[in-house]
Amino acid sequence: MHAKIYRPTKTAMQSGKANTRKWILEFEQDGGRFVEGLMGWTGSTDTLQQIKLYFSTKEQAINYAKKYLPQAEIIEASL
């Protein structure tokens, strides 16, 4: 189970700094996707890809990852 910790950068359409102050811990996709035969919908058995955890500080995110996750990658934003 791999995870990444990052701070989102602001988009080109964003002039303020809203939604860029929190740190996010997000799980990387482990399982593959499949196409369901009857309806043709895309499915997956990996439910962790739906989870995003938000933290106020980088240290909180790192402490959580050290406690509960064996491997986590920290991505520093390059401005």
Q: What is the pLDDT of residues 47-70, one digit of tens each?
A: 888 889 999 999 999 999 999 887
Tokens of 17: 């700094």
pTM of the shown model: 0.73
Reading phi first (left if > 0) and then psi (alpha if -120 to 50, else beta), residue 20 is in: alpha
- Asked whether 5 and 25 are in contact (CB, 8 A), the reply is yes
| Span 24-41, pLDDT tens digits | 999 887 778 889 889 999
